[in-house]
Every structure is written in structure tokens, then in C-alpha cells.
A and B are shown apart, each in its own frame.
Chain A
Amino acid sequence: MMTMLGGEPFLLVSKQEQQNYPLYIRSVPSDSELKFHYTVHTSLDVVEEKVSAVGKVIVDQRELYLGLLYPTEDYKVYGYVTNSKVKFVIVVDSSNTSLRDNEIRSMFRKLHNSFTDVMCNPFYNPGDPIQSKVFDSMVSSMMVQTC
């Protein structure tokens, strides 16, 4: 899932059965929307590497928040993977300095909480794209906030 407002795209990808297809993508409508999709998709390389490194590397990162995945010239890409292997990605404009690590972290927490609610919705079939209005509005509010 990708959301973008004033330069903040988000993404969430599920890893059910080793898959990485998008469950929800939202971004601020712009010409470069496709580019965001690519950015998010390519960031999965880093996510996979980081998650598979858990338990192997001496500096064991056990936090769900993966931090800055990689910097590009224009965007900063942050990652978060739940224990249920659902991946969240937030893409932020490099020029946006108001969003620091802590803000990003709390955005991910919000997303995760909201996603948990989606999972507990009886009408939601795990693995299907998310079409929840509550989730949508939560993401929207987050995007407006960061504008």
C-alpha cells in the first residue's frame, strides 16, 4: 500500500506464502505515481535482506521497524515488517526534514494497529487487497498530517 501526500508514499505488502504482492498502495496523485510503485517494489530487496538477516547477524535487529531502507536522491524509503510478515513501506520526499525517525516510527505503529483491525474484520479474507474505509481514512489523515 502506498500513500503519498506532499511527497509521502506508503506501501504495504503481504508476504503470505513467500509472496510480495501489494495489499494496499496509496500515494498522492501525481505524474510520478508509477515511479513510486517501482521505488516501493525495489525496496523489497532490502526488506527481504534485512528480515532474513535476523538471527544471523551479530547486531541482531529484533525491532519490527527496519528504519531507513535506502536513500535515493529524491526519496527516503522506510520499512517495517510485522511478525506476520506483512511489510509496510513509507516513501518520503528527501526534502521533507520534518519527518524524523521517531515520526516515521509512530506512523508505522499507526498503520500496524489499523492493519490489525482489518485482520480482525470478519469480512476480510487474509491475503486479499485491503478495501477498508476506516483504513483508508486513517491513511488519509496521516498523509494530511505530514503535508
Chain B
Amino acid sequence: MSPAQWDLPPELCCRPMAFVALTGLDVVYNAVHRAIWDAFCANRRADRVPISFKVLPGDHEYPKCRTKRTSYEWYIPKGILKTGWMNKHLNLVPALVVLFYELDWDEPQWKEKQSECATKVEIVRTSLQGRNTKVAVVLIQKKTPLPPGEDVMASERAAALCNACDLSGKSLFVLPHTDHLVGYIIRLENAFYEHAQTYYYTEIRRVKSHKEFLNKTTHQLLFVRHQFKTAFFSELKQDTQNALKYYRAAYSLIHELRTHETNILEIKTMAGFINYKICRLCFQHNTPLDAIAQFRKHIDLCKKKIGSAELAFEHAAWMSKQFQYFGDLFDEAIKLGLTAIQTQNPGFYYQQAAHYAQERKRLAFQLCGGPEANLGYPAPDPLETPTGILDFYGQRAWRQGHQISTCFKLVSQELIIALLSNAVAQFKKYKCPRMKSRLMVQMGEEYYHTKDYAKALKLLDYVMCDYRTERWWGLLTSILGTALRCSYLMAQVKDYVSYSMELVGRASMLREDQKSRIQKNVAKVLKNEPPEAEPDCDPSAVKAAQALWNERGSQASGEDLILEVQDSVPFVQCKARFLHPSFHLDVPVQLHVFLLTDSPHPVRFSKLCVSLSNQDYNQYCVVDSLGQAPAQEDMCLVPGRTHRYSFRFVARPEDVGKKIEITGVDLMLGSENGRCIFLNWRGGGGDAASSHEALQATRSFKRRGRLPENEVDWDTVSIQASTMIISRVPRISVQLHHEPPALNNEMYCMMVTIQSHEDIVARDLKLTAGLKPGQDANLSHTTHVTLDGSKMCDDSHRALLPDIPMGDLQPQEKMEKPLSIRCSTTGPRIFLVHVAYTVDTCIEGRDIVCKCHKDETVTIETVVPFEVAVKFVSTKFEHLEHVFVDVPFLLMTDILSMSPWPLHLVTSELQLAPTMAAVDQPASQVEEVVLQTGESASECFCLTCPPVHHGTTGVASGQYVMSWKRKSANATIPVVNTVITLPHVAVETIPLYVHADLPSFGRVRESLPVKYHIQNRTAIVQEVEMSVEPSDAFMFSGLKQVRLRILPGTEQDMLYNFYPLMAGYQMLPLLNINLLRLPAVSGQLLRRFLPSRIFIKVTFNGPANSGIESGARCWSYPSLILTVSQRRSSKVLRQKMGRTVPLLCPPSPNRLSRR
């Protein structure tokens, strides 16, 4: 009995479709017939009616119809459903037989043809004697038929044909063999479908009609049979709703049957069939929950129907199939658009199917006394009936109690594995990673049982890490156990050792004695001896394995096996750490490796080596029995004790600034004459469990017992897998002397003082100084550094001077280096002074050249040294909106010191534009002046503006250049020239210009001659009306009121003799000027050019030596005023009052001369 016994018959699993037989078609030799048949078969998509067509010969013998029973009174059914029944109605008994016949309406030999056709129909009818199958005739015609009613002959002959064949008009069809064949065929088959529907409807009625003859006592089986048949016909009729109803009825009826040993199989089989149909229809109706509920009910009802205990294996196989088919149905429905969920997906059913398949295998082994007791399959298969086919589904062909001799070679492991892998695929899809892992374990175990150890290992290995990361040690241990057996049986040395080590380690849940046994086996492997067999292994397999191990042993002496243990939990733990995160070059690098074993027995190793990122150091980090020959006990790890191994080495100078990393730790077990196994930890050690353990340890409030001296608590050790080599600590001092802030554009002096505190000569001193790199890119363009402070820096100088050689420095020697920095923008800058040198030292007997360096950085702010304000004023110091052509005015500059340091103004210079002219020689008035913070200096220049082109409104004034340096700067420091561009000024012309000559002061009662010059600057004669207004302070002589003409370009002088009556500042008598031709030019405007007041002194006794005659004519507009004023607070102002007095330089006549 093969497992295929439980495969559902194909006629049950297919979708029932109406069966229509086509006769009279010669599809082999007749092309037209072939085309017709193809049109029926081809492209049967979902939109075509569900019919299954078959071509049968015209004289085909249909199954004989047995004479219908008129009474069931004495009838005792032998079974529920005959094995041939479904097939009969699907494939043998048609709902409709269609006779194809070539006949045109205008056939000349109509009569003969008609009777031939009638004969053919008759043959079919005879064959279908007793059945309700309909017959239809299709006339294949060459001509396109005329519209109905037009062809009189056609209708006549059609009627005649129907008559002859005993057909209703609805059963006669015409198929013109023209271009539109497919269209005609589709119409034809729709008509066939209707006929078929009617047929199945009558069949249902017929089966139902039997019911009244039945009684409950003897015909229970028939109740089931009839419900099943009704349902099946309904399906053929495509009435799935009713089909479901009938199947459900059949299902409940079947469980009403009394079960006993002989019929239990039949009941289960039929229940399985009906259940399948119900579930299938439920999924089809998109009611998956109904399907699941039905299936659960089915399983619950059938689970206990085991029957004879010896046949339990058979029951398990049946259960397995039930689950598998349901899984298939479910999966099918999902493919058609159903959504499954995590807790309800086909995977569960496949899993269960696999479970029962395994159960079946177990039970079968039990029955036979183990797989060894395989009996040959009995020659005449006792499970097969002599005819090969049983009469009823689910009945046995032999009597119960016959010896059950089953062949278990056919117990298909592949089936179990296939089911499991189906389930894996499903669980993967529905986010059940753990379920998936579990099933993979089962698959692995299944492979193990089939002795496919390689596949088993592959699967187990795959899931192992999942269990490791989830820290489910119990499950991991179980998987490792199976894996260990696999590797033993295959004599895979590497895997064997690797699994053993994990099983001995702390993650393993094995008992101490089991661990001990495994550890001893590892020891044997190391000695190149075959290990003891694992318990529970198949004895024959063990025998083969032992041979393999012996073979391995003879081949592989001195074989090196490298085991990566990072991702497992091996029995030796490792943590490596550098003592410090960084080491100076002149200090030996120190490194500790800690080892701890959890095995039951001590572990002896033969070599421990650390690999570092720079492999040159590896030689210093080795413990082995050859080299320094450490004590024997050092090479033996005692369980539970933390062992520490220290290494030290001197780093190479070229590694300064580099990271040294531990890339791996290797522990060699075994020896050269046996087998060597290297445990390799990547990086600084640790394994799959260690990080969590470390975390828990840090949180633990457990009090650690006091450990004896030089012993370490494992949990307190942390891994430090890398360290930096940094340069030796410099023993020099670097000091910077300077006076911040820097002034914009000045040559800022910084003195670098380097002093050595080394005990030996510091060689090759190199200084790098300047702007620290990595700041704003613009700063490097506006900062210039030079060693030569006597010349002004320009853009050719760099912002950073690298590697200035400074020679050697003796112990305690001091060295100075001045730096000059020019900053052309304000703001903060970070300057770097880097001094590098080398010294020769000796560390642990090794001479090394140490490069040391010392960095100093300083932030220097650059500020504006002074601000210059420029203004234009009239000769009377009145603010000017614009200046007049050829009229003198004053340009004033105010220099305000912003520098915190005293500022030495060396000189200043006015560089006039061509559009400006100086009235006198403009010389600097601030030369050699020193300004303190907040003090200001002013200069004043008398200028005129030469005539401009008509229409020009503004002219350039030129530039003002300040030459300065800080007062503290020594003489070699160059002077800074700061150029200030003077503002443009608006220019206007005036038609008449008036100015006066008068002394700088007068005396009471002494004559004061005043001469007014009136200048006509127009090209026409000007009539001028002048008058002098009387004043209380003066008497005067001269023309009080006059009208005069002034020729173009000429000047008229008017002389008055004023006679002051009062002392002090007095208003001069007002001079009114009216231009009769130009009333727009008011006297007000002109009066601005004239002095309005004069100082009158009291007469003194001395001779009236007057400057009046000597004619200091221009006193009214002092060309030179210098003031030094305080802008500090009033308190300071009062203290320094002395300085606030204007410093008046005596006017030198040559400067006063007019053009």
C-alpha cells in the first residue's frame, strides 16, 4: 500500500463540467472537421461556457444503463460510492450527444442524405438506451444561410429532417463553414450548454426520487450515496450553492453511519472526499472561514477513528493527506486573491501534514520493530485487488486479520521534507521567522534520519545562529546535538570540533557528564584518534563513520583547522585589551589577553597569538611552548579561572598618529604531531553571548567576592581592541609674546620663545607658524606672515610659514624668533605655532628616533586702528551741502583712535583729485602726533573748486593718506599707509562773488578799514545795489547806499572805514547786495561769503600798533586749526583739561597768500 493510496482521485479534484460528446467529425482526415473541433477546443477561457467536449465515433458504445430498480426493499448496498461513478459521469455518459452531418439545403440527393442522417441519429439513440441524454444534430453547410424565413426550401427541409430524425426544432443546428466559424461555434456551444443543464436537472430529480423508497435501517449508505450524487450533478450543472448544500448533508449523514473495523476506512475515505468538496466550494465562494471550520470539524470527527491499533500508521498517513490537501486548497485560494494572516495560513496545515507523516513513519517502525526489520515487499501485492480496481471507494480487498506486511521502503522521507518545506515557504510569507526556523530544524532532523547528513548539517547550521541570537540555549543545545551526530557520522573534523566546543561551553544545557564525554572526544581528535561514537546513532552508520575517522586520521597529520568562534559560544572565552586607549611612542605598548574556559576539564593549549593591524608587532604577542618557554601551568586553562597573558612591545616611530588594532586572537589547541586547531576570534575577542553577559554584569548588584591577588574577575574585563600611538611628550616650552589686539594692516609683532627642557640635544628644530589651517578660507587671503618685519607684507607672503629650520637646541637653551603678521581684515584669527624636533632615545634597549612636537595656538583679534570722518565746511565753518566754483571752502578730517594702544601718526597727506585745488600748500598738520585710545585729531585744508563743465553736479575730491604705526613699534617696523577715499562733493557756480578784506580784530575807537570786493562772474554787465545797515556797535564812513555796474569778469572794490564803539565780539554792519538783473541771487546767499562778526579789543595804552594796515587780510578764514580734544567721559576730560586747549600754530603769511 503506497502513500499514494490516499491521493484523492483526479475525478474528485477536478472541476466538474458538463460532458458533451461530438460525433460525426473526422478530425484526422477532414480539414473542415478539424477546424470545427479546434474552434471548440482552442482558447477555452473563463468566458466560455464550462463544457468538456469529446469527439466520439458515430457508433460509439456508451456505458450500458442498468435497468432501474423499482424497489429497494431487498436491496442491501455493498458500499457508499462506486469507484467508477464520478468518472462515468464526467467522461463516459454525456449530457448531450451532437451529431455533425454535412448537408446543404440545396443538396440534390436530399432524400438519401436525410435518411442517412436519421439512421445515424438512431444508432446514437440506441446506444444511449435508458438514459436521459439528449441528441442534437448540427448540419455543416458550405453556404452562408439566408436570413430566417427567406429561404423557403430551408425551412421546409429542416422541418422534414426534424421529423425524420425525431428531433425537436431546438435540437437542429446549422453550422455554415465560413469565415466566422468561431462566432458560430460559440453560439452553438451556448445552446449545447442549455441542453446539458436540462439533462443534469433531470438527473438530480431522478436521484432525488429514489429517496422515498429508502428506509433508515438498511439503506443508510444509500442516503449518503444519493446526497453525494445530487451534489455532484449540481456541480456538473454549475449550481455550486446547491452542490455545497448537498455535500454538507452527505457529510453529516456519513458520520451517522455506524463504524466498525470493516467499514471505518470507507467512512474515512468518503468523509475525506466530501470534506474536500465542501472546503473547495467554500474557498470558491470566498468563505474561507467556513472552509476552515468545516476542516476542523472534519479533523475532530475523524481524528479518533483510528480503527485497529496496528493500522494506526495508516490512519496517520490519511490524516497527513487531509492536512496536505487542505493546505493545497488554501494555498490555491490565496493565489486566486484570498488574504491569509499570520495565525491562519496554509503553513500550519502543511506543518500538521508533515507531523502526521512523521507520526506514520514512527508507528510503522514500531510495528516492524525498527527500520532494520525491513521485509521484502510481498510478491503478489496483497493490497491490490486481483482486478486492480476496487468496486467501492475506501474498501479493502482482503479480509481483516490477514498479515499486514507493509513495505516501509515506500515510507517517503521525501514526502515529509516536501511538506515541511512547503510549510517553511508559507511561514516565511506570513512573518513567522521562529516557526520557519523550527520547521527547518525538523527538516534537518528528517534529513538526518534519511542519512543525508550533509543536507541536515546545512539546514541546522543555518538556524543555529537564530537560536543563538535569541539566546534560547535549550533549543540550541538540542540542535547542536543533532549537528554533532551528523558531523561525527560524516567524520567532518572541523564541524565536529566546532559543535563539540559549543556543546561543552556555557551556552550548552548538557549535563556535566555529557560535557565531559564530549570534551574527551575533542581531546581524542586533537591527538588524531577517532572519537567515541555519539549515543543514539544508527549502529551501521557508526561502523561506516569509524572507518571514515580512521581514514581521516591516517591522512591528516599536522593538519591545521581554523575555527571562527566569534559567532558561536565556544568553551573558551577571550577578551583582549590594550591597557590604554593611547600610548606615547617612548612608552612600551601593553596588551593583555584574558582567557576563561567553562569546560569540565582543564584545557591545554600550545600557542596563543595576537594579530595586530601592523603585522610587524605580531611577533611580540605570542605565547608558545617554544619561545620564551613559559611555565607549563600557564599553558593550561583551569575551568572557571580567568587567565591573563601580558604582552608589550615598542611601537615604531612611523606608526605615530596611527591606530593599532587587534585584528584577531588565535588560540592553538593540539600539537604539531597530532592535529592543530586554531580558535580564532576576530578583533578583541568576545562571542555570540558575551555582549549580553557584559551588559547584565554591569547592571548586577551582586557583590563580587574578593579575589586573591593577581586574579581578575572576568566580568570586570572589557575589550579594548585598538589603541593610538601618539608622539612622545615634548619637553620644550613655547611662549608667545605679543600685544593683542592686532591693528588692521599693521605689521603685528609676535615673539616666539622656545626653551628646551630636554636632557639631550633637540635636533632639527622646525618651526611652523602662521594662520592655523582649517579656518575660513578668506582668512588665508587676508593674512600674511613673514619673518622679516622690516618690510611691509604683501599678497606674495603666505598665511602659514611651514618648517622654518631652526637648527639644534641644547638642553636648557632658549631661542627666539620674531614673527610679523599682517591682517588686512578685522575679526578673530587663530594662529598656530608648531615646533617640531627629534631626539634620540632608548626604550627597553631599542634606540629609536622620537619626533616630538609642541603646538601653541593663540586667537588674535584684529581691530580698526582709527576712524576718519571727513566733512566740507565753509570758511565760516558752516556745514556745506555743496561748494561754489572758485570760492574757497574747508575740508576737515577727524581722526579718532580706536586702538587700545597709543597710535603714532607719522604723517598724513592729501592727494587731491584734478577737480580740486588747494588754496595753499596742503601740509600735514598731524605729523608725529600720538593719539591715545579714544583721542582724536583733526586736520583742515582750504580748497577751492576750479570751474567745472556745465551740468556737472559732483566732483571727486581725492584721497587722504594716513601714515601711522603703533607707538610701541620700533623704528624698523614699517609705517602703515592707510588710504581714505574722500567723498564726492556737489558743485555749483554763482554769478556774483563777494569777499571782504579786514583785519583779524579791531580796537575800540580805532579805525577799522574794511574792503569789500564784488566780482562779476557772469558774461554780462551786472547792476548791483549795495547798502550798509546802521549798527549800534560801529560808526562807519563810506557809501551807505550805492548802485553800481560791474563789467563782466571785473571786480569792484568798496572801501569802508568802520569805527568800533564797543569791545567784544560784535556784529559787523550788515551789507546788503541786490542784483537787479538776477533777483534770484539773494543778498542772503552772498552774505555767506562775508564775515559777520569781528572781535574788538579794548584800546590799550601802547602805541596803536596795528596789524590793520599790515593787512592780515584773510583772518576771517583760518586755514589752519588743530585741535586735540577728548572724547572720554567728562571726568577724564576735566583731569586732562590742559590738553583740550586748541593748539594753534601761528599762521605763517606764506600760507595765507591768495592766488
A and B in direct contact, judged by CB atoms within 8 A: yes
A144 CB-CB contact with B under 8 Å? no
A128–B697 CA distance with the chains assembled, in angstroms: 10
A122 and B431: CB pair below 8 A? Answer: no
B699 and A126: CB pair below 8 A? Answer: yes
B438 and A38: CB pair below 8 A? Answer: yes
B472 and A41: CB pair below 8 A? Answer: yes
Chain B residues 663-700 with CB under 8 Å of chain A are: 692, 695-696, 699-700
A46 and B342: CB pair below 8 A? Answer: yes
A125 and B696: CB pair below 8 A? Answer: yes
A34–B445 CA distance with the chains assembled, in angstroms: 14
Q: List residues of chain A with CB within 8 A of the CB of B63.
A: none
B478 CB-CB contact with A under 8 Å? yes
B1124 CB-CB contact with A under 8 Å? no
Minimal Cβ-Cβ distance residue in A for B469: A19
Q: List residues of chain A with CB within 8 A of the CB of B438.
A: 38, 41-42
A38 and B342: CB pair below 8 A? Answer: no
B470 CB-CB contact with A under 8 Å? yes
- Contact A42 B699, CB 8 Å, known A22-B472, A69-B343: no
B475 CB-CB contact with A under 8 Å? yes
Chain A residues 36-77 with CB under 8 Å of chain B are: 37-38, 41-42, 44-46, 49, 69-70, 72-73
B699 and A125: CB pair below 8 A? Answer: yes
B1114 CB-CB contact with A under 8 Å? no
B9 CB-CB contact with A under 8 Å? no
B342 and A21: CB pair below 8 A? Answer: no
B348 and A70: CB pair below 8 A? Answer: yes
Give the total of A residues in contact with B, Cβ under 8 Å: 25
A41 and B434: CB pair below 8 A? Answer: yes
A41–B348 CA distance with the chains assembled, in angstroms: 15
A-B contact pairs, 16 of them (CB 8 A): A17-B695, A19-B470, A21-B470, A22-B471, A38-B438, A41-B434, A41-B438, A42-B432, A42-B434, A45-B431, A45-B432, A45-B433, A45-B435, A46-B432, A125-B696, A125-B700
B699 and A45: CB pair below 8 A? Answer: no
A73 and B474: CB pair below 8 A? Answer: no
A127 CB-CB contact with B under 8 Å? yes
B475 and A41: CB pair below 8 A? Answer: yes
Minimal Cβ-Cβ distance residue in B for A45: B432
Provide the B463-492 mask, 1 if CB < 8 A to any CB of A, else 0. Answer: 000000011101100100000000000000
Chain A residues 120-146 with CB under 8 Å of chain B are: 122-123, 125-128
B702 CB-CB contact with A under 8 Å? yes
Q: List residues of chain B with CB within 8 A of the CB of A125.
A: 696, 699-702
Provide the B797-808 mask, 1 if CB < 8 A to any CB of A, else 0. Answer: 000000000000
Q: List residues of chain A with CB within 8 A of the CB of B472.
A: 20-22, 37, 41
Q: List residues of chain A with CB within 8 A of the CB of B700.
A: 125, 128
B355 CB-CB contact with A under 8 Å? yes
Contact of A37 among B299, B432, B475, B695 (CB under 8 A): B475
A74–B355 CA distance with the chains assembled, in angstroms: 11
A118 CB-CB contact with B under 8 Å? no
Q: List residues of chain A with CB within 8 A of the CB of B478.
A: 34
Minimal Cβ-Cβ distance residue in B for A53: B342
A34 and B470: CB pair below 8 A? Answer: no
Minimal Cβ-Cβ distance residue in B for A47: B434
Q: List residues of chain B with CB within 8 A of the CB of A20.
A: 470-472
A72–B702 CA distance with the chains assembled, in angstroms: 42
A44 and B475: CB pair below 8 A? Answer: no
Q: List residues of chain B with CB within 8 A of the CB of A49.
A: 342, 431
- Contact A21 B696, CB 8 Å, known A34-B478, A42-B432, A42-B435: no
B1119 CB-CB contact with A under 8 Å? no
Q: List residues of chain B with CB within 8 A of the CB of A17.
A: 695
A4 CB-CB contact with B under 8 Å? no
B474 and A25: CB pair below 8 A? Answer: yes
Q: List residues of chain B with CB within 8 A of the CB of A70.
A: 343, 348
Q: How far is the CB of A34 from chain B (nearest CB, A)?
A: 6
A45 and B342: CB pair below 8 A? Answer: yes
B701 and A19: CB pair below 8 A? Answer: no
A10–B472 CA distance with the chains assembled, in angstroms: 15
Q: How far is the CB of A126 from chain B (nearest CB, A)?
A: 7
A73–B478 CA distance with the chains assembled, in angstroms: 23
B783 CB-CB contact with A under 8 Å? no
A46 and B343: CB pair below 8 A? Answer: yes
Q: List residues of chain A with CB within 8 A of the CB of B470.
A: 19-21, 41
Q: How far is the CB of A79 from chain B (nearest CB, A)?
A: 11
A123–B1134 CA distance with the chains assembled, in angstroms: 80
B342 and A34: CB pair below 8 A? Answer: no
A49–B431 CA distance with the chains assembled, in angstroms: 8
B352 CB-CB contact with A under 8 Å? yes
Q: How far is the CB of A77 from chain B (nearest CB, A)?
A: 10
Chain B residues 452-470 with CB under 8 Å of chain A are: 470
Minimal Cβ-Cβ distance residue in A for B702: A125
Q: How far is the CB of A82 from chain B (nearest CB, A)?
A: 19
Q: List residues of chain A with CB within 8 A of the CB of B299.
A: 73
Chain B residues 25-81 with CB under 8 Å of chain A are: none
Q: List residues of chain A with CB within 8 A of the CB of B355.
A: 73
A80–B42 CA distance with the chains assembled, in angstroms: 58
A85–B57 CA distance with the chains assembled, in angstroms: 75
Q: List residues of chain B with CB within 8 A of the CB of A69.
A: 343
Q: List residues of chain A with CB within 8 A of the CB of B695.
A: 17, 127
A45–B700 CA distance with the chains assembled, in angstroms: 30
Q: How far is the CB of B620 from chain A (nearest CB, A)?
A: 38
Q: List residues of chain B with CB within 8 A of the CB of A122.
A: 701
B702 and A34: CB pair below 8 A? Answer: no
Indicate the member of A20, A73, A122 with the most B CB atoms within 10 Å. A73
Q: List residues of chain A with CB within 8 A of the CB of B435.
A: 42, 45
Chain B residues 299-340 with CB under 8 Å of chain A are: 299
